[in-house]
Amino acid sequence: ITLVEPGPVVTNFEGKLLEQVSTAEFPDTDPDTLHYFRDFYLPASRELFHSVGQSPQDVAQVIVKVISSTRPPLRRQTNARYTPLIVLKTVDPSGSLYVRITHCLLFRWTR
């Protein structure tokens, strides 16, 4: 068994989903949450997919390599550009480091 971890994959589904939620109304959401969602999370998601996203074909190629391997790995990331964030999860199993760094990237990184 191999866990294939693709990270962000650029597809029509992802693009349509981001577009749909950017114009959706969320009447029961408090203003602060809506502000963070629209003004921070959505732009950061678009930027993440644009900068480190990969194609479905790239993911499929890695899956084919794993399937045809005589000794497949336990885990396989398909996107080297996304590896620094994945490493944070293994360095600190509690997840605190990953959350802190992604928080800084989202709220403190100059675009």
At 15-50, the pLDDT tens digits run: 898 889 888 889 999 999 999 899 888 888 888 888
According to the model, what pLDDT value does residue 110 have?
A: 62
Q: What is the DSSP letter of 9?
A: B
Residue boundaries of the structural domains of the chain: 3-108
pTM over 0.85: no
Cα angle vertex 61, ends 56, 65, to 5°? 145
**Residue 29: DSSP 8-state:** S
What is the rounded average pLDDT of the residues 96-106? 86
Residue 2 has pLDDT above 90, yes or no: yes
pLDDT tens track for 59-92: 999 999 999 999 999 989 898 887 787 788 888 9
CATH class given for the domain over 3-108: alpha beta
pLDDT at position 111: 55
> How many C-beta neighbours within 10 Å does residue 36 have?
13
CB 19 within 8 A of CB 59: no
Using CA atoms, how far apart are residues 6 and 102, in angstroms rounded to an integer? 18
pLDDT at residue 4 above 80? yes
